[in-house]
């Protein structure tokens, strides 16, 4: 199994696209376009009203996984440990409401990426102690893509974590677009994670390109 060291994870977080069948009518087409645009990582998140279950969830996951494999970008499964293992995913992302990160790390072993959503410095420290490879920090701005999203927190936590000396790869999420991505990067994020800015864009390929350009120039100026 591929080894994902910290530098590789940090690079992959630059433009982390998340989607499932609830976010767009053809996730596979949108993923292909996002990869053409330069997406560096993908999370299969099959959640919300009308989300696929069982065999249909697995079947779409296989297609999306194969697409990521072909492109050489990490394929991450949201929340569902059984699915992550069934799909031989490169990793899994869990929130604070999901299984504890320590349990997830024990179940998936050292070879897979474990990502954890954190909303406070305490949650971040716990996730790191539990063996997280990266943290998802947000929502930075208001989001309509997550029903149970926490309160908007701006860039405060990103700054707090970096000021506290936490060096783990961090990805910003929540309402991010090409117009505001630079703020998150300047505040300490290694990249941005998006659903709607790409999944609902007229051209997902162009949306990714514009996001990447914003991230790259903000990283340079840091």
Which of 18, 31, 158, 215 binds ligand TPS (CB under 6 A)? It is 18
Shortest Cβ 129–ligand TPS spacing (Å): 19
CA distances from 74 to 10, 42, 138, 150, 188 (A): 12, 6, 21, 26, 22
127 vs 220, beta carbon nearer ligand TPS: 127
Backbone angles phi, psi at 99, to 5 degrees: -60, 145
Determine whether 26 is an active site residue. no
> Annotated catalytic residue: which of 10, 14, 32, 45?
45
Q: Give the span between the Cα atoms of 112 and 131, in whole angstroms.
A: 11
Q: Give the span between the Cα atoms of 222 and 74, in whole angstroms.
A: 26
Which residues, in sequence order, are CB contacts of 11 under 8 Å at separation 6+? 40
User: Using CB atoms, what's the residue nearest to ligand TPS?
Assistant: 136
Give the range of 53-61, 141-149, 179-187, 205-213 binding ligand TPS by CB under 6 A: 141-149
- Residue 169 near ligand TPS by CB under 6 A: no
- Annotation-wise, does 25 bind a ligand? no
Strands in 6-141 per DSSP E: 15-19, 41-44, 75-78, 91-94, 113-118, 134-137
Which residues contribute to the annotated binding site?
Answer: 43-47, 78-79, 98, 117, 143-146, 175, 195-196
Contacts with ligand TPS, residue ranges (CB under 6 A): 18, 43, 45, 78, 93, 95, 115, 117, 136, 138-139, 143, 145-146, 149, 171, 173-176, 193-197
Which residues contribute to the annotated binding site for Mg(2+)?
Answer: 79, 98
């Amino acid at each position: 199994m591929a080894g994902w060291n910290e530098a590789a994870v940090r690079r992959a977080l630059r433009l982390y696209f998340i989607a499932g069948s609830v976010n767009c009518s053809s996730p596979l087409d949108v993923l292909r376009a996002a990869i053409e645009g330069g997406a560096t990582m993908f999370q299969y998140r099959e959640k919300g009203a009308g989300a696929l279950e069982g065999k249909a969830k697995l079947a779409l996951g296989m297609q999306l996984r194969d697409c990521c494999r072909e492109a050489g970008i990490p394929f991450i499964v949201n929340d569902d440990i059984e699915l992550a293992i069934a799909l031989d995913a490169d990793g899994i992302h869990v929130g604070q409401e999901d299984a504890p990160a320590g349990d997830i790390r024990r179940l998936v072993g050292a070879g897979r990426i474990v990502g954890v959503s954190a909303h406070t410095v305490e949650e971040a420290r716990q996730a790191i102690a539990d063996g997280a490879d990266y943290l998802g920090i947000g929502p930075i701005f208001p989001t309509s893509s997550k029903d149970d999203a926490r309160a908007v927190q701006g860039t405060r936590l990103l700054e707090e974590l970096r000021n506290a000396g936490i060096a783990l790869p961090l990805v910003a999420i929540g309402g991010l677009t090409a117009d505001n991505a630079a703020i998150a990067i300047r505040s300490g994020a290694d990249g941005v994670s998006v659903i709607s800015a790409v999944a609902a864009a007229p051209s997902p390929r162009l949306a990714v390109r514009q996001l990447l350009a914003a991230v790259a120039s903000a990283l340079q100026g840091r």
